[in-house]
Amino acid sequence: MSLEGAIGQIQTIVRAIPGIQSAPTSPPSSAGAFPFAVSYPRSGNLVMNSVDWGNVLHTVYTELHFANQLLEISIPQSMPYARLVFLGLMADVTLGGNVSEISAVRYTFGKLAWAGVETIGFRFEIDMKEGIQR
């Protein structure tokens, strides 16, 4: 189990969605061909169950970036992707065995930016639990 493995599996899930042009394993230093996806850790905390055992609760951001031009085209074209991401995550709730479970997924839609490039798109907040022991 690992956070890095979970993020890699999220990118694998998103990369499999038809139409996604890029979903690299590591966040890129520049914006790629649209639409592209990036995932990175947002926050986390450790819940101790005993001296040797606990759960780490992670929140990972996954962003789907679309061109911020011709909004009358980009916005309608981006709408199906929320459902496709949800379905992909529901099909692999342990993210390839890297977490115990995905506990919640929230999203916002609107202005985003990557490497100085203004975009629009979805930001998913994916909450997950990873069991750890010393």
With a CB cutoff of 8 Å and minimum separation 6, the contacts of 124 are 61, 62, 63, 64, 85, 105, 106, 107
Task: Give me the number of domains the chain comprises.
Answer: 1
pTM, rounded to two decimals: 0.89
Interval 27-48 mean pLDDT: 86
The DSSP element (H or E) to which 35 belongs, if any, is: none
CATH of the domain at 43: 3.30.2000.10
Range of the domain at 100: 3-133
Q: Given a cut of 90, is residue 132 above it in pLDDT?
A: no
Q: What is the pLDDT of residues 91-122, one digit of tens each?
A: 999 999 999 999 999 999 999 999 888 999 99
Closest by alpha carbon to 67, among 125, 29, 114, 106? Answer: 114
